[in-house]
Amino acid sequence: MPKLVKTDLDVSNVCFGGNVFGWTADQSQSFELLDRFMELGGNFVDTADVYSAWKEGNQGGESETIIGNYLKKTGKRTDLVIATKVAMLETRKGLSAKNIALACEDSLRRLQTDYIDIYYSHSDDLETPLEETLEAFDQLVKSGKVRYIAASNYTFDRLGEAMTISKENNFTEYIALQNRYSLVAREPYESDGAKSVTEYNISGLPYSTLGSGFLSGKYAQGAAVDSQRAEGVSNNYATPKNFELLTRLQEIAQRHSVSSTALALEWLRMQPGVSVPLASGRTIEQLNALMQKVSLTSEEASYLAG
Supply the CATH number for residue 189's domain. Answer: 3.20.20.100
Residue range 272-283, pLDDT digits in tens = 989 999 999 999
| Domain presence at residue 248 | no
- How much is the pLDDT for 43? 98
Domain that holds residue 270: 15-214+265-294
| Domain presence at residue 140 | yes
- How much is the pLDDT for 226? 52
Q: What percent of the chain has pLDDT over 90?
A: 89
Torsion of CA 1, 66, 111, 102, to 10 degrees: 120
Question: Are the beta carbons of 123 and 153 closer than 8 angstroms?
Answer: yes
Buried b vs exposed e over 118-152: b needs ≥16 C-beta within 10 Å?
Answer: bbbbbbbbeebebeebbbbbbbbeeeebbbbbbbb
Taking 50 as the pLDDT cut, the residues of the chain under it are: 224-225, 230
| Domain presence at residue 234 | no
| Domain presence at residue 54 | yes
15 bridge partner residues: 44, 278
Question: Are the beta carbons of 21 and 67 closer than 8 angstroms?
Answer: yes
| Domain presence at residue 8 | no
Question: Are the beta carbons of 65 and 76 closer than 8 angstroms?
Answer: no
CA angle, 43 as apex, 70 and 205 as ends, to 5°?
A: 115
Residue range 169-178, pLDDT digits in tens = 999 999 999 9
- How much is the pLDDT for 249? 95
| Domain presence at residue 9 | no
- How much is the pLDDT for 107? 98
Number of domains in the chain: 1
| Domain presence at residue 146 | yes
Its pTM stands at 0.94
| Domain presence at residue 247 | no
Question: With 0-12 CB in 10 A as exposed, 13-18 as middle and 19+ as buried, what is 216?
Answer: buried
Which regions of 44-156 does DSSP assign to beta strands (E)?
A: 44-46, 81-86, 116-121, 146-152
